[in-house]
Amino acid sequence: MPNEIAMEPRLARSGADVVIRIEGITKRYVMGATTVHALKGIDLLIRRNEYLAVMGPSGSGKSTLMNMLGCLDTPTSGRYEFNGQDVANMEDDELAAIRNREIGFVFQTFNLLPRSTSLQNVELPLVYAGVPASERRHRAAEALFRVGLMDRLHHKPNELSGGQRQRVAIARALVNRPSIILADEPTGNLDSQTGREIMTLFENLHEGGNTIIVVTHEEAIARHARRVVRLRDGKIESDHATAHL
């Protein structure tokens, strides 16, 4: 597997190398008669090339925070700056553009298009970015090469193993050279051996200069990160560096 993963440095407009600046974010859901306070005031600063794990039991607000970080949802109140841009008050389509350019998603269930080849799956974010077809192919193949799937370009998801599928998904997350890679339980559907391989891949990406945020409830996965943020009842319970080996 190639170890050198070159990343174009994307310069933040404010603050030297701050990618994400979150201040006093809250999120309330109205579910029928009751209002759920999923996040009760979160402050978080994430810098370039950090490797962060977000942990917490179910109901802690972990998923809600991940949706905020991924610009899939907007906070009820508070400030959220992504590379200096205020994303807290953006419209749907503006958020879509931010997700397309700045965020690479890796899902627990891979979420590949079932009838498309690896190459086509990896090309998808580039289609939405308006990249011409020839360049799309080139960059998608390059991303698949980085995750070690150069020989699986024209395979469809059902012809790939779970680990290979997740590698395709990671290639798809990488292909737009995003500011952060946001992984939600990336090993949740994999056996432990394959899970370790995927975590090694994240390790390599981090060493190559990528900023990685992993949302997980497994201590073993969180141990790979350099920093762990623990949530409880919609607040940050702890936030400290790990004793990384």
Partner 1 sequence: MRRLIYEWAESCRIAAQQIAANRTRSFLTILGVIIGIVAVTLMGTAIRGIDTGFDRSMSLLGDDVLYVEQWPWTPGEDFWLYRNRPDIKVADAGRLNEVIASTPNSRLRLAVPAPATMETVTYAKRQLSNVYIMGTTSDYALIGITDCRSGRFLNEPESRGGRNVCVIGLDVAENLFGADDPLGKTLKIGNQGYQVIGVFERQGSFLGLFSFDSQVVIPLASYAKYFKTGSENASIRVKVKDRRQMDEAREELRGAFRRVRGLLPEQADNFAINEQQAFRSTLEPVKAGLAIAGLFITGLALFVGAIGIMNVTFVSVRERTREIGTRKALGARRRTILMQFLIEAVAVCLLGGAIGLVLAFGLFTLVASLFPSFPIQFSPFLVFVALIISVLTGISSGFVPAWQASSLNPVEALRYE
Chain residues in the site for partner 1 (CB under 8 A): 67, 70, 72-73, 92-93, 96-97, 99-101, 105, 107, 109, 111, 113, 115-116, 120, 124-125, 127-133, 172, 176
Joined together, the tokens standing for residue 104 give 């690479």
Joined together, the tokens standing for residue 174 give 């990488």
C-beta of 109: minimal distance to partner 1 in Å? 8
Per-residue DSSP letter, 159: G
DSSP reduced 3-state for 43: strand
Joined together, the tokens standing for residue 237 give 């319970």
Q: Are 68 and 23 in contact (CB under 8 A)?
A: no
C-beta of 244: minimal distance to partner 1 in Å? 29
Q: How far apart are CA 22 and CA 75, in angstroms?
A: 10
Which of 45/96 has CB closer to partner 1? 96
C-beta of 67: minimal distance to partner 1 in Å? 5
Which of 62/227 has CB closer to partner 1? 62
C-beta of 154: minimal distance to partner 1 in Å? 15
CB-based contacts of 2: which residues, under 8 Å, 6+ apart? 145, 146, 148, 204
| Residue type at 145 in one-letter notation | F
Which of 3/130 has CB closer to partner 1? 130
Which of 50/123 has CB closer to partner 1? 123
